[in-house]
Structure 1
Amino acid sequence: MASQRALLPRSAPAASGVSSRSIAALLDRLEAAPIECHSLMVVRRGHVVAEGWWAPYSAERPHVLYSLTKSFTSVAVGLAIADGLLSLDDRVVDVLPGHVPDGITEQARRITVHHLLSMTAGHPTDSLADAWELEPDDLVKGFLRLPFAVPEGTRHTYDNSTTLLLARMVEAVTGRGLDDFLDDRLFRPMGVDHAEWDRVKSGAVFGFHGLHLTTEAVAAFGELLLRGGVWDGQQLVPRAWVELATGRHIDCEPFEDGTEQADFSCGYGYQFWMSRHGYHGHGAFGQQCVVVPSHDLVVAVTAEGEAQALFDALWDCLLPGLDQPGSDQCDEQLAERLRRLSLSPVPGSASPVPGSAGAPGSVSAVLDASTDGSALPDGTTVTVDSTDGGWLVRFESLFDVEVGHGGWRESSPLGGPVVAAGAWQGGTFVADLYVITTPHRVRLVVDGESGRASATWSTVPLTGPRLELHLRSPLMTRPDVA
């Protein structure tokens, strides 16, 4: 892929008051934690002091942010308010009158922009699935029809629907799609020319998830917030809105019951989480934009795993290394380590072990989808054909994927990229298929002896398990994220 223009200046860690040893300790901690990092960028005093991508992930490729998207929608709301088109007290029923069902409660009529931003509408749980079930063709109507558990403004409940409503309200008052509005007012002025969006069936963007950006664009967004909405001398976002959105508005409880979530228990702003240090925009599986104003620090991460482990590592390893002495030698050692970051390709040989059931040229099997997290339909015929330096894997009537041996091979069978590596382990062919614009991968296992195969997600995407859906660009689905 073509390289993108740098958005942020670079410096050695020591020149920006960061000990390389602290970043190395952070890497050590992350490698031992229950989180698989895909990228990391540390920005101190406005300069990138450390950056790395675990191959096959790479710097130039946009990555889905999941709910970190919500923080960008918050900025869009702030811009519409600054333009005089919207206010915190505006009610959903007034801004979106064509989406108001008959017979709604008085509380539903009172829901305002403030309640949506702070996720304090009063529903007992995330309303998305129930709202969709009530109104398959209009999620706004479904949201307004649902019963409330507490009065508006009194309790925070993490609720994806609130952000979808905000996106539709911004579009209603600006007359533009949320993506076009943010391109014009935020991304293009920042120099970000590679924002991509997943969409609902109508073609509208989700608003609460589905934005794809490079790691550096996420870090630049954090730096914009840290500087009070100023970018390259231009006030892109009003300082007052940045302070309001990233300030604490309501107490909150961890959105995962029974888990220790210290950095999700500090309060909630306007589509931002408060942290033990600073605040952050958060996306499922570890997509993070962490801003720590007191230390002039921004950290951007893409990953697959539990986000709290990342925060624990940041506070324990990185913060103690700020404003500590460093050395050129340590900086060079860290830079070399960051250049060599890689996930491990599947180990094994280029051909089946002699005497095993697998044939060196081609093997076929039938997919068993009985296991949890299956990525493909039951009964799909899977054929593995040898090619130069790898294999061509055919999923009958669906698509073909290229797989490398000892390295990664990329293909775009349905328009979206997948990067894969595999090997023979005895008479079994094993491959990892990375849906490289997401945190997720599929482990393919083809047993040459039994003639059975499986294709299982490492973590099932929130937009559903069918692999074909995630190999299309842009991803288009109904808004049914759980």
Structure 2
Amino acid sequence: MRALRFLLLSAFFFVHSTAHAHSISTSTLQAWGEDIGALERLHSVVVAHEGEIVFERHQGGPGLAVPANVKSLSKTVLAALAGAAVQAGVIESPEQRVVSILPIPAHQTDPRIEELTIGNLLSMQAGLERTSGSHYAAWVASNNWVEDALARPFVDEPGGRMLYSTGSSHILSALLTQASGESTLALARRLLAEPLDISLPAWPRDPQGIYFGGNDMQLSPRALIQIGELYRNDGVIDGERLLPQGWVEASWQPRGRSPWTGDGYGYGWFVTRLAGEDVYYGRGFGGQALYVIPERALTIAITADPNPPSPGGQFQHELHRLVSALLDKEATEH
């Protein structure tokens, strides 16, 4: 088994005392649990410390081991799949040009399309007009999502400012499908789900059958912990390297910056500081989140109500405060 060890105790809390000198105490986690209870939108929270699950709470929605729609947190998972594809030789590197794999729409005549790299897609620096926000509805109503995203006008240079766009992630999904000869689902199961011993059900596809890149993946909170632990352990699980040497460091290097939060963005991960620590996180609509805090050996998975209306960025600030509160409590304890 390549899963973390799960020992279920109560309906709401699971605390496993370990022999580690810096394990988080039951009292700290129980006190923190009161903060969680105040956030009614939250469905589940799972915390792993030094690779051991030390806390679980389920207060709505699918269960802790049941796949849930993680919305745009899928972008973080897709970035992990891109890394696994490099390790497996499916694609060359983040520097590989998109045009070396995907055909470019005939009506995309801007020469900058030749410069677009896989890394630009991962870091949301494609330079192409966004398909998210006000453009989203028209994009998903188009008859070819990949062509629509690739044919959009350039509003910046490839490698320029961060332009958060699900279209960039969907181009990446199509690229992985083309390069591997497998669907994104089959590739993700082979390179990530099977080695990590997690379940990955099918999720929606575009009109051409390409699995939605960057949205609507289904993963349980415990499965998300496994993704986070893979990154916390530098791409290695049970002695097997799934992500290339240096991939995690490159993924956590800020390349662009969110215009809404000011947080940095690497390859599928936001970069910030909470309670004096470097924190790396992925996020999805409605409050889906995955946090990795390497210096504290912590991985935190959060699922929430994915249905609109969503409190948006305000709720993300609430999740940041929740994580900060645990870091502060743990620091005080030691």
Q: Which residue of 2 is the match for residue 12 of structure 1?
A: 16
- What amino acid does structure 2 have at the position aligned with 1:321? K
- What amino acid does structure 2 have at the position aligned with 1:7? L
Q: Which residue of 2 is the match for residue 57 of structure 1?
A: 62
Give, in angstroms, the shift of residue 200 of structure 1. Answer: 2.7
Q: Which residue of 2 is the match for residue 205 of structure 1?
A: 211
> How do 1:264-413 and structure 2 match up within 5 A?
265-276=262-273, 277-304=278-305, 306-315=315-324, 317-322=325-330
> How do 1:160-179 and structure 2 match up within 5 A?
160-179=166-185
After superposition, the C-alpha distances for 1:35-72 in whole angstroms (9 at most, x for unaligned) are 51100111111111111111453223210111111112
Give, in angstroms, the shift of residue 132 of structure 1. Answer: 5.0
- What amino acid does structure 2 have at the position aligned with 1:155? R
Give, in angstroms, the shift of residue 77 of structure 1. Answer: 1.6
Percent sequence identity over aligned pairs = 27
Going from structure 1 to structure 2, the CA distance change for 1:25 and 1:14 (only over 3 Å counts) comes to farther
Give, in angstroms, the shift of residue 92 of structure 1. Answer: 2.5
Q: Which residue of 2 is the match for residue 22 of structure 1?
A: 28
CA distance in 2, matches of 1:38, 1:325: 27
CA distance in 1, matches of 2:196, 2:169: 23
Conserved in 1, the CA contact under 8 Å of 2:129 and 2:152? no
Q: Which has the higher contact order (CA 8 A, sep 6+)?
A: 2
Secondary structure, in 3 states, of the residue corresponding to 1:299?
A: strand
After superposition, the C-alpha distances for 1:8-31 in whole angstroms (9 at most, x for unaligned) are 355625755213333233332233
| TM-score with structure 1 setting the length | 0.59
- What amino acid does structure 2 have at the position aligned with 1:273? F
Q: Which residue of 2 is the match for residue 66 of structure 1?
A: 71
Instruction: From the two aligned structures, give the one with the greater strand fraction.
Output: 1
Conserved in 2, the CA contact under 8 Å of 1:41 and 1:299? yes
- What amino acid does structure 2 have at the position aligned with 1:291? V
- What amino acid does structure 1 have at the position aligned with 2:101? V
Structure with the greater alpha carbon radius of gyration? 1
After superposition, the C-alpha distances for 1:311-363 in whole angstroms (9 at most, x for unaligned) are 11211x2112326659xxxxxxxxxxxxxxxxxxxxxxxxxxxxxxxxxxxxx
CA distance in 1, matches of 2:207, 2:303: 27
> How do 1:214-233 and structure 2 match up within 5 A?
214-233=220-239
CA distance in 2, matches of 1:115, 1:82: 19
- What amino acid does structure 1 have at the position aligned with 2:16? A
Instruction: From the two aligned structures, give the one with the greater helix fraction.
Output: 2
Conserved in 1, the CA contact under 8 Å of 2:65 and 2:223? no
- Unaligned 5+ residue runs, structure 1? 255-260, 327-482
Going from structure 1 to structure 2, the CA distance change for 1:212 and 1:103 (only over 3 Å counts) comes to closer
Secondary structure, in 3 states, of the residue corresponding to 2:223?
A: helix
Going from structure 1 to structure 2, the CA distance change for 1:239 and 1:125 (only over 3 Å counts) comes to same
Secondary structure, in 3 states, of the residue corresponding to 1:93?
A: helix
Going from structure 1 to structure 2, the CA distance change for 1:323 and 1:131 (only over 3 Å counts) comes to closer
Alignment match of 1:181 (pick from 177, 187, 205): 187
After superposition, the C-alpha distances for 1:155-208 in whole angstroms (9 at most, x for unaligned) are 001111000001111111111111111111111111113444233344331021
Give, in angstroms, the shift of residue 125 of structure 1. Answer: 4.0
Alignment match of 1:109 (pick from 90, 111, 114): 114
Conserved in 2, the CA contact under 8 Å of 1:14 and 1:20? no
CA distance in 2, matches of 1:138, 1:68: 23
- Unaligned 5+ residue runs, structure 2? 8-14, 306-310
CA distance in 2, matches of 1:206, 1:314: 29
| Worse-superposed segment, 184-193 or 7-16 | 7-16
Conserved in 1, the CA contact under 8 Å of 2:144 and 2:207? no
Q: CA RMSD in A?
A: 2.7
Going from structure 1 to structure 2, the CA distance change for 1:28 and 1:157 (only over 3 Å counts) comes to same
CA distance in 2, matches of 1:275, 1:299: 15
After superposition, the C-alpha distances for 1:115-148 in whole angstroms (9 at most, x for unaligned) are 1111112245445837955992222222232222
After superposition, the C-alpha distances for 1:375-401 in whole angstroms (9 at most, x for unaligned) are xxxxxxxxxxxxxxxxxxxxxxxxxxx
